[in-house]
Structure 1
Amino acid sequence: MTEIEQLLARVAAEARNTRPWGWPSLPAPVGPAEVARAEAVLGFPLPALLAALYLRIGDGGFGPEYGLLPLLDGQPSGEPAAVPQYLASRESGRKDPDWPWPEGVLPISHWGCGMYACVDCQSPDGTVLLFEPNADRADHAWYVDAPDLATWLLTWLEGTGWYEESNDDADLPLWPDFPIRATATRAS
């Protein structure tokens, strides 16, 4: 069994046994047609591991804190889905050029207070970013949470994420690509 298969098995076991806030049950996985529709709407492919989470484990409802967002359709608690949230964030960034939303950065989990965990779908390994809009300016709102989605999932499984009480002094580095990606976003 490959490392990714082992990781998916661990995530699936945890997903079956725990519910994030607001999720009464684990939603069924999506089908390949839903992933294809999401990618068509987004205009870019999902990283393979992210697609596998939706295809094999569930349409959101597992993961740290509030859990993974559903892919296309919102959840019963009213939380938006990843694709509509991305589209809304991009539109908001077009209306307010001081707060651009970088192309290809898909919100995957809501932390509350407007904060999102996001996957950079343009990075080779699916860098996971933290968007923290309570900063005084956009270039101080984007942090690298994990170098890739697999690492982000492992920190959740192992209880070592920055959001854990035992790790509340963790400092995340600013996302160094934001200035470049924001400039490209403003130009598009």
Structure 2
Amino acid sequence: MTEIEQLLTRVADKARNTRPWGWTSLPEPVDAAAVARAEAALGFRLPPLLADLYLRIGDGGFGPEYGLLPLLDSPPAGEPAAVTQYLANRESARQDPDWPWPEGVLPISHWGCAMYACVDCRSPHTTVLLFEPNADDADEAWYVDAPSLEGWLRAWVDGTGWYEEASEGMEMAPWTDLRIRTAPIQAS
């Protein structure tokens, strides 16, 4: 069994046995057609590990804090779907260019207070970023949460993420690629 397969097994086990805040059950996984629709709406492909989470474990509802967002459809009275949130963030950036949203950076989990864990779908390592919009400006709102989605998931299943009590005081590095990755978005 590969390391990724082992990780997916561990994530699936934890997903079946724990509920993030606000989720009463683990949603069914999506099918390949849903992933294709999501990719068409986004304009880019999901990294294989992220697609596998939705295809094999569930349509959100597992993971740290509020858990992964659903991919395409919001649960009743729940968080917006990842695709919906990404498209809204990109549109908001068109309206307010001082707060750009990088192309290919998909919000996957809500932390509360408008903060999101996001996967950089254009990064070869699928870097997980923390978007913290309560900063004074956009250049101070992005941090590297984990160098890879694989590492982010391992931190969750191992209980070693920055959000764990035992990890208090852990510092995240700023994500310095924001301006490189955000070409000016023209108003429509």
TM-score of the superposed pair, with normalisation by structure 1: 0.97
CA deviation profile, 1:64-123 (whole Å, cap 9, x unmatched): 000000000112342100000000000001100000100000000000000000000010
1:154-177 Cα deviation digits (max 9, x unpaired):
001111111111212011001121
Distance 1:77 1:9 in 2: 30
* 2:36 corresponding residue in structure 1: 36
Gap runs ≥5 in structure 1? none
User: Which amino acid is the alignment partner of residue 160 of structure 1?
Assistant: T
Contact 2:94 2:186 in 1 (8 A): no
User: CA–CA distance in 1 between the matches of 2:100 and 2:168?
Assistant: 28
Equivalent residues in 2 for 1:78-93, closer than 5 Å: 78-93=78-93
Query: Counterpart of 1:89 in structure 2: which amino acid?
Result: N
Structure 2 residue aligned with 1:122? 122
> Hey, what does 2:108 align to over in structure 1?
108
Identity of aligned residues (%): 74
Determine the C-alpha separation between the residues in 1 that align with 2:81 and 2:98: 25
Per the alignment, residue 71 of structure 1 pairs with 71
Alignment root-mean-square deviation, CA: 1.1
- Report if aligned partners of 1:82, 1:107 keep a CA contact under 8 Å in 2: yes
Structure 1 pair 128/185, CA: closer, same or farther in 2 (3 Å)? farther
- Separation in 1, partners of 2:19, 2:163: 17
Paired residue secondary structure (1:39): helix
Structure-1 separation of matches of 2:160 and 2:10:
16
Contact (CA 8 Å) 1:103, 1:185: kept in 2 or not?
no
* Structure 1 counterpart of 2:40, one-letter code: A
SS in 2 for 1:117: strand
When the two structures are superposed, what TM-score results if normalisation uses the length of structure 2? Answer: 0.97
> What is the CA–CA distance in structure 2 between the aligned matches of 1:152 and 1:41, rounded to whole Å?
25
Structure 1 segments of 4 or more deviating over 4 A?
none
Asked if the contact 2:66–2:111 (Cα under 8 Å) also holds between the matched residues in 1, the reply is yes
SS at match of 2:129: strand
- 1:158 paired residue number: 158
Paired residue secondary structure (1:186): coil
